[in-house]
């Protein structure tokens, strides 16, 4: 039986009908954009300011998200360089409110870069 991670999610959302694809599942682009929104949270906290998404290093959709699934995004910083940070994001669904169970639906790795007001990269501040 899959359980939710112990950490707090950085994002929790119920997809709308407009987020469904022709088959009635949640559109992959919606999932990916929310993964990016979730991943930016630990990056902005660490950078203490603006960041941009430099790369989606990888993303695996492990199971479909159905309408009525409550979707939770967990994000944590796993590497920091001079200006860049790697964040891992995991996505889980709470399915079937009558008899709830958890499904892990996706995981991803993204790289963010800290930028200044002019949009140029800047070193991460000391911890």
**43-72 footprint of ligand COA as x/- string (CB under 6 A):** ---------xxxx-----------------
- CA distance readout (Å), 61 to 10, 51, 100, 113: 19, 25, 21, 25
Instruction: Return the residue of 13, 103, 115, 122 that touches ligand COA, per CB under 6 A.
Output: 115
CB nearer to ligand COA: give 71 or 113: 113
Where are the strands (E) in the chain, listed by range? 11-13, 51-61, 70-80, 84-95, 101-114
Segment 68 to 107, residues that bind ligand COA, using CB under 6 A: 81-84
Enumerate the H helices of the chain as residue ranges: 28-47
Beta pairing partners, 79: 86
CB nearer to ligand COA: give 14 or 52: 52
CB nearer to ligand COA: give 12 or 83: 83
Diameter of the chain measured on Cα atoms: 51
Judged by the rule CB under 6 A, the positions of this chain that interact with ligand COA are: 52-55, 81-84, 111, 113, 115, 119, 121
């Amino acid at each position: 039986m899959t359980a939710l991670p112990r950490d707090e999610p950085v994002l929790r959302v119920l997809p709308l009908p407009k987020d469904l694809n022709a088959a009635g599942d949640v559109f992959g682009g919606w999932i990916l954009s929310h993964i990016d929104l979730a991943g930016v949270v630990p990056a902005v906290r660490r950078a203490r300011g603006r960041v941009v998404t430099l790369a989606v290093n990888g993303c695996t959709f492990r199971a479909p998200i159905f309408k009525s699934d409550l979707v939770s995004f967990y994000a944590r910083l796993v590497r920091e360089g001079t200006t860049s940070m790697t964040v891992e994001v995991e996505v889980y669904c709470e399915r079937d409110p009558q008899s709830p169970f958890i499904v892990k639906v996706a995981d991803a790795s993204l790289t963010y870069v800290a930028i200044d007001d002019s949009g140029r990269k800047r070193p991460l501040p000391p911890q």
